Amino acid sequence: MTSRSLFLLPGDGIGPEAMAEVHKVIAVMNEKESAGFSTDEGLVGGCAYDAHGQAISDADMDKAMAADAVLFGAVGGPKWDAVPYEVRPEAGLLRLRKDMELFANLRPAICYPALANSSSLKQNIVEGLDILIVRELTGGVYFGEPKEIIDLGNGQKRGIDTQVYDTYEIERISAVAFELARTRRNEVCSMEKRNVMKSGVLWNEVVTATHKARFSDVKLSHMLADAGGMQLVRWPKQFDVIVTDNLFGDMLSDIAAMLTGSLGMLPSASLGAPDPKTGKRKALYEPVHGSAPDIAGQGIANPIAMIASFAMCLRYSFNMVAEADRLEAAIATVLDKGLRTGDIMSDGCQQITTAEMGDAIVAAYAS
């Protein structure tokens, strides 16, 4: 029988609540389709800090490295505001990304037909939206050195973060964007700030050269990232694939989330390079949202971003394309029926809990 190992890191806040709903999907796939998923679970974020003083233990890192795929919930929360910077909850996620070399973060923003009136933007602007943000995930200002606060000795301190990109990092992320564009509408828009940043100049240069050398069949455009943010809310359907750096990608994807109705809707896949021998690649699947401390523990979080992240896992880690399509269709069916968690609630719809949303999606998937 097929064996597919999943390492689950539910994390903090609404992370475990959303992950519980993915458990249900895994269970039904194992029971009804003999999918052969085996699961193991670890600690990441604040709960890991509470248990062993680190945002992720070495033992759990080893398990993440060894699994076929990692499913990640969310980390962080006010409880850990005062913990040392090096072991803050978010450090666990950053270590996973860096050590697993998950340089490509795919953040699709799709507006489900039933939610076209749930966005804070007008319906005609978002209906039919299907864009993909490809965010560089292991470089840039998130990881560049020096990264420190130094005491200047005159009562002043200096906080330093360093934005660094090397050619190979820009080349490999743009190649991912171009390859994905070929499977979609064949257009890539690269966003940087070459008008003020040297790394932006290099970014623009390398994306252009990669395009010319290997992907000249794809339509390429460039935009300054601030203008890109504006265009995302002005007329988002002008975009197909957006490729951008780590920090701009973080911000632009939260903006894109609101085009779909809620941050609770946006899934993501964080992928490494395929192994040259086996073709397999390390991967972690994580919703774009955080631990949502304001609603944690109430059973009202939207689990769709987490479930849709599992659909991406089926597609990218296990090549279970039909199952991924069916799971995404099940989400659409449930939304079409007017079932909503609070974040996407609108007139004439029925408000349900996190668990009820998971049950409804599983039922639609299994039917």
Point out the annotated binding site for Mg(2+): 226, 250, 254
How far apart (Å, rounded) are the C-alpha atoms in residues 249 and 359?
Answer: 32
How far apart (Å, rounded) are the C-alpha atoms in residues 156 and 159?
Answer: 10
The count of residues in the chain is: 367
Q: Most distant CA pair in the chain: distance in Å? A: 69
Q: Record the tokens describing residue 297, joined without a space.
A: 């523990």
Please tell me whether residue 71 adopts helix, strand or coil conformation: strand
Build a one-symbol-per-residue string for 236-255: x at contacts with Mn ion by CB under 5 A, - elsewhere: --------------x-----
The answer to whether residues 199 and 247 touch, using CB atoms and an 8 Å cutoff, is: no
List, as residue ranges, the binding site for substrate.
97, 107, 135, 226
Q: How far is the CB of 166 from ligand IPM (least distance, A)?
A: 20
Q: Does 9 bind ligand IPM (CB under 6 A)?
A: no
Q: Does 264 bind ligand NAD (CB under 6 A)?
A: yes
Positive or negative, the Cα torsion across 87, 92, 96, 97? negative
Among 6, 22, 61, 93, binds ligand IPM (CB under 6 A): 93
Among 232, 263, 361, 362, binds ligand NAD (CB under 6 A): 263
Q: Which residues are catalytic?
A: 142, 193, 226, 250, 254
In this structure, what DSSP letter does residue 275 have? P
Q: How far is the CB of 82 from ligand NAD (least distance, A)?
A: 13
Please tell me whether residue 242 adopts helix, strand or coil conformation: strand
Return all residues near 168 (Cβ < 8 A) that are at least 6 apart: none
Q: Does 246 bind ligand NAD (CB under 6 A)?
A: no
Residues 13-32 that bind ligand NAD (CB under 6 A): 14
In this structure, what DSSP letter does residue 81 have? T
Q: What is the enclosing helix (H) or strand (E) of 8? A: strand 4-11
The count of residues interacting with ligand IPM (CB under 6 A) is 6
Build a one-symbol-per-residue string for 288-327: x at contacts with ligand NAD by CB under 6 A, - elsewhere: -xxxxxxx-----xx--x----------------------
List, as residue ranges, the binding site.
77-90, 97, 107, 135, 226, 250, 254, 290-302
Q: Does 250 bind ligand IPM (CB under 6 A)?
A: yes
Q: Does 343 bind ligand NAD (CB under 6 A)?
A: yes
The answer to whether residues 119 and 111 touch, using CB atoms and an 8 Å cutoff, is: yes
Q: To 10 degrees, what angle do helices 14-33 and 321-336 make?
A: 120
Binding residues (CB under 6 A) for ligand IPM: these are: 90, 93-94, 250, 288, 290
Binding residues (CB under 6 A) for ligand NAD: these are: 14, 74-77, 90, 93, 263-264, 286, 289-295, 301-302, 305, 343
